[in-house]
């Protein structure tokens, strides 16, 4: 495992915990290890209950990542309507969807041949 891969793994773990702390649902981690030409190491995908929940998830992820490893996202998109919020941490891309939007785009199916880890919801 390269240094960048290890750093990306740490960042994605922090993001997952931040999502779970704010009751984000249906967390999926897509690991792009071994995918030729991939620009990133991981996607972290989750579902929010409402636009305000999506914003709270994004805020908590940013805060926890900043506190733990002093990194801010390169880009933060989608906060106008919070149907699909994207946080770009270079090697880790975090997608926060409302349920209907997640179902419509179905990102997981685009990467069905790539290793995916689906986490159980924490109540």
Q: How many domains does the chain have?
A: 1
Asked whether residue 10 is assigned to any structural domain, the reply reads yes
* Separation CA 119–CA 25 (nearest Å): 9
18-39 tens-digit pLDDT: 999 999 999 999 999 888 888 8
Residue 52 structural domain: 3-118
Q: Which pLDDT belongs to residue 2? A: 52
Supply the pTM of this predicted model.
0.93
Asked whether residue 79 is assigned to any structural domain, the reply reads yes
Asked whether residue 111 is assigned to any structural domain, the reply reads yes
Asked whether residue 123 is assigned to any structural domain, the reply reads no
What CATH code is carried by the domain that includes residue 42? 3.30.460.10
Q: How much is the average pLDDT of 72-84?
A: 93
Please identify which residue in the block is written with the tokens 């981690």: 29
Asked whether residue 112 is assigned to any structural domain, the reply reads yes
């Amino acid at each position: 495992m390269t240094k960048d891969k290890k750093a990306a793994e740490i960042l994605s773990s922090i993001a997952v915990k931040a999502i779970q702390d704010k009751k984000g649902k249906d967390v999926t981690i897509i690991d792009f290890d071994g995918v030729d030409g991939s620009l990133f190491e991981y996607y972290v995908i989750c579902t929010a209950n409402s636009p305000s929940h999506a914003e709270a998830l994004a805020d908590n992820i940013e805060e926890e990542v900043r506190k733990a490893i002093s990194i801010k996202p390169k880009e933060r998109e989608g906060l106008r309507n919070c149907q699909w919020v994207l946080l770009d941490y270079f090697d880790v891309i975090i997608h926060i969807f409302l349920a209907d939007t997640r179902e419509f785009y179905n990102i997981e199916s685009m990467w069905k041949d790539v290793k995916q880890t689906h986490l159980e919801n924490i109540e």
